[in-house]
Amino acid sequence: MPERFLLDTNIVLVSLEAPERLSAKARQLLLRGDLHVSVLAYWEVMLKTMKGRLDVGSVGQWWKASLKLLRAIPLPLYQDHIAAIAGLPPVHKDPFDRALVAQASFEGLTLITADEILLQYASDRLRVLHSPVLPE
């Protein structure tokens, strides 16, 4: 079975704005396909935009364009994903990252992230690929 990937919000943002800042391996994986983007990324971008910490224009248009440009499948948030959060070790306090880890683990997806701390969640059930983002 081909490997399937869940993109962390940071990877989605950088891949659309400045893909050259991603590692060569991450760029290859993005081109290879079977990418998933969680609705949590949509929610997180909306919150950051509302707080003035991010400007993507219309968040709804950004979401649709992101899925299309990345040829990604949207991943809804299900009750099983939420339940899986309870079983995670207390590595990270960010609720979005914890939920993404739970989704990736439950769905059998490899998580691609620029957040090095998420590597601590890697296990037999979850593969985490760290792709540092190069400075601008």
Question: Taking the domains of the chain in order of start, what are their residue ranges?
Answer: 5-130
Q: What is the pLDDT of residues 35-62, one digit of tens each?
A: 999 999 999 999 999 999 999 999 999 9
Closest listed residue to residue 41, CA positions, set 4, 92, 80, 96: 96
Q: DSSP assignment, residue 86?
A: T
pTM: 0.93
Kindly report the number of other CB atoms within 10 A of residue 123's CB atom.
Answer: 11
State the architecture of 5-130 in CATH terms: 3-Layer(aba) Sandwich (3.40)
Strands of 5-7's sheet, edge to edge?
72-75, 35-38, 5-7, 110-113, 128-130
